[in-house]
Structure 1
Amino acid sequence: MSTRPSLALIIGSTRPQRFADKPADWLIDYAAKRDDFTLDRLDLRDFDLPFFAEAGSNLHVPSADPKVVAWQDAIRPYDGYVFVVAEYNHSITGALKNALDQAYVEWVRKPFSALGYGSTGGARAVEHLRGIGVELQMVPSKFGAHIGGSDLFKVHPFGGDAPIADIENILLPSVDAMFDDLVWWSTALREARAAV
């Protein structure tokens, strides 16, 4: 591998009292121990995206709103993505869906996975995310990580508020599989995109 894949961790919740920062911080710290990719944080709170109101997808017409263009510029350089996904009513947050809709060409032929959380580990939201990603011509990884049930209550502020490290023995096999898969797909697809 000539250069390490560059991945972005996208925090998909913007609520002031969100839980997302805790697993996101843990993922960033854990990723720093690996030498086969880099992982940068992109927080939707930092972009102040309007609701989608462009003339069309940027696949067909350039976006006009400077905030939308800034978002597209931020995600464009990455080879793949890890989404931190809260489950709201069996799906992803409205903020994350809006952010996904605000770009198109930047997502095409890039892999993604997710760390989901919620009562069922965010599994239903992650499944919705996979369907959305396929429509954006992304490549969903089979592997992801989930924090749910008693593990969620152990680390959530409304429960025991323990550090994520207290459940990492449960998370690490899934997180390693997710990162391994994203490195493989990111490398393969980067080379394929460059050859087209």
Structure 2
Amino acid sequence: MTTGHITIMFEYNGTRTLVIMRNGFAHITQPTTLLKRLSLFAVVGFAVFAQAKQTHQKTMPSQEVIKLCHSIESTVGDNVEAVTSRFGVPDRSSQKQDVSPHDESYINQRVQLHYKDGVVSIYQVPNADKSFLEFAIFTPAFQIDATSNLIGISKKRLQEELGAPDKSNKDKVIYYCSIESYDLLAFTITDQHVSSIILSNHID
């Protein structure tokens, strides 16, 4: 497998951030707060994972991983109304326009709902009257039933529960949700235990 690194400059909430990709993992230099780092990881996930696409052969996810991905998606919802119904009014929200790479007449919207200890991002496609769950970040203080038994467990136990990951290093464990797509689950590891969970869906 070919390894190397790529560098991405990304702007988040007015702050420019350097993201360095080494061997399929993102190393984020700024910002320093946990939620900002996790949000950046989720938002740049598929730009950053372009290298992983080229150099890593995916494996068939376990039934446990497939069920977990589906459970998170169905619980969180795929539109702003569903998210606010489930989690309440966010502490703040942000919107950003995104021109479709396939048709420049499609002006889409990325809506991020920021809660005190979690973030949910909804990708809206007004021309098609559709919206999608782009990513959701869960922490000990912001989670759902599907994640409650996983946050806090050891890295070893996580892999016993979900099977061998597609990628793993000292601070992240990553599973693809299916063999057909690049939707993924990323588990942040702190002191050998799961400290947060990110579901990140590939919006193409």
TM-score after normalising by structure 1 = 0.29
> Larger % of strand: which?
2
Q: Which has the higher contact order (CA 8 A, sep 6+)?
A: 1
1 or 2, which has the higher helix percentage? 1
Q: Structure 2 length normalisation: TM-score? A: 0.29
